[in-house]
Chain A
């Protein structure tokens, strides 16, 4: 029997939608898998999450210490358990691909072509994760409703080390980066995968814990290549970038700054060598350098770094605060 439903809808005066409507996550969540691996001994969480991709039993997750175990254990939402080993890592994206030992069982996942494009800030998202190992056995991972807070590159730190993620990431406004959430797929309002939750990081300059996710779409091409030919993945992690050799020093321009005594010593000009490029340009004692080459510099350390990495053979443009004004100078090279 066909039923008719009569509904009288009173439209509010504002067309604004006060809350996001529900999204059907049954199928997306059935493709999120729990991963158990290494880490327990060091007091780190030994579990995370991944997303099934392709139809050959592959899982994409974030690169982390969990994968130091071989094999790792992959558990589906229906409780089926499989061994899986690392196929390779996509270092540029911070992602890793696992191959599940399926023993002939078919496991269907997302085609990387289905990954959604980067959502603009303000988009509601659904972030999944196995935080605090709450989903045991035949349970799906849990989901949080969050908002894409910021989309772009991120300077962060892990412990005392600076970590810069040059490719855009998605910062979320919920507390998603919990133990066990790493690798959890994040879905958009259409239920399509957008990103995987990253590891715990602090924002480099504010020290705030940042909850971020690594977008999948940018990695789709590389992931497809790995699915086609697992040997395409780069196994060894990239070397640490070499220290800047530097193309310029402050002293070469005739500038000397206040001694760098604390982490954020302001870059006040202590003295300017007579006849130097800085003197010719018009810099003075007590000018406060606030930007070098278009980059805001908050401290002596940042000013030195910016000078060291300024493009060679070009004048260095700096801005100083003099009284209540910002004044720009171009320092010629000799």
Chain B
């Protein structure tokens, strides 16, 4: 400590603004020997080819990026972003002038970091030094270092630590500029100690993903180096680290304020092993109290598959405790199926059966339209609450035995034992409204997107179902499509939105965003009947339809693909967000169709509507006049139990 006496006349005391610069440069030069340039050889150029979901989200090219040396014998950690384009090979360009071939050892799929190995020969590498814990304090200066421009000089960006334990506890947040130019590089303190490794980590959960849209908005993330070093032995042995999954969802509410009430439990999941059931309230996880949903998400965020978790929960007035090992993946989800389309009714406290799938178990047991389901039971215990019945149905598995109690139109109450089957996606007849509604035809324009089209909307302001229709290249004509779908809009209370592809009439990967924007815009103008929302695409429109349906899983309940077998990654089925798929072609659809096989693998209900017997192997384009009435029944049948 020292005491200084300063004199001044007037004017501000201007320190040496250059001093900060020399401090930053000194810190950078201390870490620089550990910062290498990672160059991908070959691979997909996401900017020009836009493939898969990665290409649709990342409009940047995967070019040179950065890596951080963690051991002298050749282990380098980088952001998994470097491998996004599936390069044929990776090179590590070292600051000392050497270029070495790098091989992928393993990845941490929770923090989205990848471990690489190079053979440094007789000259060891310089491993990075972790910063002291106090450097990860909000407000402290932080410097992001990359080596993307050139091997000769690192690129530098300055900021502060903005937050700690972000992204479900996995990352430190900084306002230094983070971009593909420094992904994989270190975030250092002013002494050159490494706080963390920069990576575009997304919020994730079951679908841990990159979040590339934030890179120039002052929100960047670094995964703490200390944690990375702890996981090194496992990764270096070639074992990928996978996020630990519990296999349950919450009932309603948002993570931040929602009560931690169990919504659904996957059969066979760790949550099931713990003993959790819908309606249970989570009290604590590993001894830490849980008051809101987000607290459980944070507790899980830093855990990996194979880690144990202990959960205390409350059922009725009883507190219970259970323990399980978190799973690397959940068994593809298939729920049990009753085979009815029902509408909740408050007046009669149950679910009114609107239609019965003639091939489903309910029909076999004798249920008919007009019955009101007033209870669903397991082992003699009946659920009476409509929401509880629906939640329990979502958590059943095919083959499960249940008993359905119905209030019949005759006034009798009957009980039917039913063995649940797999959900059928096949269309069956659902009664239409008696008086057709007037339909308004309008032009579709979407703000900020080069997309237009048409809409058919039933008059009035009651909630409507929604069918998004995506045409094939150049067909059908607008008037043909409108004529085919008008009866559906009039008699089913379904709005039809028909976006048309941009300038040259064919869809592109970028169209997915435009169509999504069109749907969002339509929703702002008219309330939707959430259970009856589907998208249909013909030909190239089929790819866009599937992409939109998977991108907006919380909106779409049905996907129809015609004359197309989209090649895209199928996300796992989700118990809370049922999605039925219908494939309808003029030609017979081969049994080994790639898209349908992928969907069945993830346990999505899939139905194929093959050509009518007289029209087998017809060669022409699909007949909309023939398809549209079936779609009407199918959309009305989407909220099936």
From 189 to 210 in chain A, residues with beta carbon under 8 angstroms from any chain B beta carbon are 189-190, 203-209
Count, A-B residue pairs, CB within 8 A: 207
Whether A321 contacts B41 by the Cβ 8 Å rule is: yes
Whether A207 contacts B60 by the Cβ 8 Å rule is: yes
Whether B41 contacts A290 by the Cβ 8 Å rule is: yes
Contacting residues, chain A, for B39 (C-beta < 8 A): 290, 296, 298
Contacting residues, chain A, for B155 (C-beta < 8 A): 121, 149-150, 171
Whether B119 contacts A190 by the Cβ 8 Å rule is: no
- Closest CB of chain B to A245's CB: distance in Å? 27
In the complex, residue of chain A having the shortest beta-carbon distance to the beta carbon of B144:
A173
**How many Å lie between the Cα of A190 and that of B15 in the bound state?**
11
Is B17 an interface residue when CB atoms closer than 8 A count as contact?
Answer: yes
A2 with B4, Cβ < 8 A, contacts A120-B25, A121-B156 known? no
**How many Å lie between the Cα of A197 and that of B90 in the bound state?**
34
A205 with B99, Cβ < 8 A, contacts A6-B5, A17-B19, A296-B93 known? no
* Interface 9-residue window, one of A85-93, A106-114, A261-269: A261-269
Pick the contact of B42: A148, A208, A266 (CB < 8 A): A266
Whether B153 contacts A19 by the Cβ 8 Å rule is: no
Interface centre among B8, B18, B179 (most CB of A within 10 A): B18
Whether B23 contacts A266 by the Cβ 8 Å rule is: no
Pick the contact of B154: A5, A121, A266 (CB < 8 A): A121
Whether B2 contacts A16 by the Cβ 8 Å rule is: no
Whether A148 contacts B156 by the Cβ 8 Å rule is: yes
Is B44 an interface residue when CB atoms closer than 8 A count as contact?
Answer: yes
Whether B18 contacts A324 by the Cβ 8 Å rule is: no
Is B577 an interface residue when CB atoms closer than 8 A count as contact?
Answer: no
Contacting residues, chain A, for B3 (C-beta < 8 A): 8-9
Contacting residues, chain A, for B100 (C-beta < 8 A): 326
**How many Å lie between the Cα of A152 and that of B156 in the bound state?**
13
Contacting residues, chain A, for B150 (C-beta < 8 A): 150, 152
- Closest CB of chain A to B224's CB: distance in Å? 21
Whether B180 contacts A206 by the Cβ 8 Å rule is: yes
Whether B17 contacts A124 by the Cβ 8 Å rule is: yes
A124 with B42, Cβ < 8 A, contacts A18-B140, A205-B61 known? no
Is A254 an interface residue when CB atoms closer than 8 A count as contact?
Answer: no
Whether B18 contacts A147 by the Cβ 8 Å rule is: no
**How many Å lie between the Cα of A4 and that of B148 in the bound state?**
52
Pick the contact of B65: A18, A21, A119, A206 (CB < 8 A): A206
**How many Å lie between the Cα of A140 and that of B488 in the bound state?**
62
Pick the contact of B158: A16, A119, A173 (CB < 8 A): A173
- Closest CB of chain A to B126's CB: distance in Å? 19
A16 with B48, Cβ < 8 A, contacts A205-B61, A206-B60, A324-B103 known? no
Is A117 an interface residue when CB atoms closer than 8 A count as contact?
Answer: no
Whether B17 contacts A206 by the Cβ 8 Å rule is: no
Is A105 an interface residue when CB atoms closer than 8 A count as contact?
Answer: no
- Closest CB of chain B to A21's CB: distance in Å? 4
- Closest CB of chain B to A160's CB: distance in Å? 9
Whether B158 contacts A147 by the Cβ 8 Å rule is: yes
Instruction: Classify the secondary structure of B's interface with A.
Output: loop
**How many Å lie between the Cα of A207 and that of B48 in the bound state?**
10
Interface centre among B4, B5, B42, B156 (most CB of A within 10 A): B42
Contacting residues, chain A, for B65 (C-beta < 8 A): 206
Pick the contact of A326: B99, B156, B176, B216 (CB < 8 A): B99
**How many Å lie between the Cα of A147 and that of B24 in the bound state?**
10
Is A27 an interface residue when CB atoms closer than 8 A count as contact?
Answer: no
**How many Å lie between the Cα of A19 and that of B15 in the bound state?**
11
Is B63 an interface residue when CB atoms closer than 8 A count as contact?
Answer: yes
Whether B156 contacts A150 by the Cβ 8 Å rule is: yes
Pick the contact of A291: B17, B43, B99, B140 (CB < 8 A): B99
Is B96 an interface residue when CB atoms closer than 8 A count as contact?
Answer: no
- Closest CB of chain A to B182's CB: distance in Å? 9
From 7 to 28 in chain A, residues with beta carbon under 8 angstroms from any chain B beta carbon are 7-11, 14, 16-24
Whether B25 contacts A122 by the Cβ 8 Å rule is: yes
Contacting residues, chain B, for A256 (C-beta < 8 A): none
Interface centre among A22, A173, A209 (most CB of B within 10 A): A173
- Closest CB of chain B to A118's CB: distance in Å? 12
From 20 to 73 in chain B, residues with beta carbon under 8 angstroms from any chain A beta carbon are 20-21, 23-25, 28, 39-45, 47-49, 59-65
Contacting residues, chain A, for B64 (C-beta < 8 A): 205-206
Is B501 an interface residue when CB atoms closer than 8 A count as contact?
Answer: no
Whether B149 contacts A265 by the Cβ 8 Å rule is: no
Whether A175 contacts B216 by the Cβ 8 Å rule is: yes
**How many Å lie between the Cα of A203 and that of B65 in the bound state?**
12
* Interface 9-residue window, one of B81-89, B261-269, B580-588: B81-89
Contacting residues, chain A, for B148 (C-beta < 8 A): 203, 206
Whether B87 contacts A122 by the Cβ 8 Å rule is: no
Contacting residues, chain A, for B119 (C-beta < 8 A): 324-325
A266 with B28, Cβ < 8 A, contacts A2-B9, A9-B4, A21-B14 known? no
Whether A203 contacts B181 by the Cβ 8 Å rule is: yes
- Closest CB of chain A to B138's CB: distance in Å? 13
- Closest CB of chain B to A41's CB: distance in Å? 20
Whether B63 contacts A206 by the Cβ 8 Å rule is: yes
**How many Å lie between the Cα of A10 and that of B3 in the bound state?**
8
Is B6 an interface residue when CB atoms closer than 8 A count as contact?
Answer: yes
A208 with B14, Cβ < 8 A, contacts A14-B190, A298-B40 known? no
Is B410 an interface residue when CB atoms closer than 8 A count as contact?
Answer: no
Whether B20 contacts A326 by the Cβ 8 Å rule is: no
**How many Å lie between the Cα of A265 and that of B144 in the bound state?**
32
Whether B17 contacts A21 by the Cβ 8 Å rule is: yes
In the complex, residue of chain B having the shortest beta-carbon distance to the beta carbon of A263:
B45
Whether A9 contacts B41 by the Cβ 8 Å rule is: no
Is A154 an interface residue when CB atoms closer than 8 A count as contact?
Answer: yes
A122 with B21, Cβ < 8 A, contacts A9-B4, A206-B181 known? yes
In the complex, residue of chain B having the shortest beta-carbon distance to the beta carbon of A294:
B99
In the complex, residue of chain A having the shortest beta-carbon distance to the beta carbon of B157:
A173
Contact with A along B545-579 (1 / 0, CB 8 A): 00000000000000000000000000000000000
- Closest CB of chain A to B465's CB: distance in Å? 40
Known: A8-B4, A266-B87, A326-B101. 15 other contacts (CB 8 A): A2-B9, A7-B4, A16-B190, A17-B23, A21-B17, A23-B14, A119-B21, A120-B21, A122-B24, A124-B17, A173-B158, A205-B64, A207-B47, A266-B42, A267-B41
Listed A/B pairs (20) with beta-carbon separation below 8 Å: A4-B7, A6-B6, A11-B2, A22-B12, A24-B12, A124-B20, A124-B21, A150-B155, A152-B153, A189-B16, A189-B18, A190-B17, A206-B180, A206-B181, A207-B63, A207-B180, A266-B89, A267-B42, A290-B41, A296-B93
Closest 10 CB pairs of A and B: A266-B42, A205-B63, A173-B157, A266-B88, A21-B15, A189-B17, A20-B20, A207-B60, A150-B155, A206-B63
Residues of chain A whose beta carbon lies under 8 Å from any beta carbon of chain B = 2-11, 14, 16-24, 119-124, 147-152, 154, 171, 173-175, 188-190, 203-209, 262-268, 288, 290-291, 296-299, 319, 321, 324-326
